[in-house]
Amino acid sequence: MPHPLDPELLAAAEAVRAKAYAPYSNFQVGTAILADDGKVYVGCNVENAAYPIGNCAEPSAIAAMLAGGAKRIRRVYTTGPGSSPVTPCGGCRQRIREFADPDVVVVSHGVEGMPLEQTVAQLLPHSFGPEFLGR
């Protein structure tokens, strides 16, 4: 079921996606995070000529969230091109898991198609989280 803030999160993710630096893949991605402080933080993918050291949109948004003083993710909305949902890669799923409870919803949207809503637990089943290390 869509969240009341999804139109705002979609607009924020699309606005930052337009600023993505993706000259190698031409696959621009934007992410908007609703954080525990009620604010929306955004990030986009940033590629590099040394290809493996680029940044995905999700950790870029997480870094902005932490820099803004928030600590926990309440909802994630990621957009990208095409009609298939643009889901977080494996590393990004783990990064989201670090700051989000298993029941937090992650919306993945290829903007020419329908958004896909999944919980963190659905995206990363049997995950390893901070609580395993006594946190």
Give the residue numbers marked as catalytic: 58
In one-letter notation, the amino acid at residue 135 is R
End-to-end CA distance of the chain, in Å? 31
**How far is Cα 66 from Cα 72, in angstroms, rounded to an integer?**
9
Tokens standing for 41? Answer: 């933080």
Rounded to 5 degrees, what are φ and ψ at 28? -80, 135
**How far is Cα 10 from Cα 91, in angstroms, rounded to an integer?**
22
Partners of 116 in the β-ladder: 108
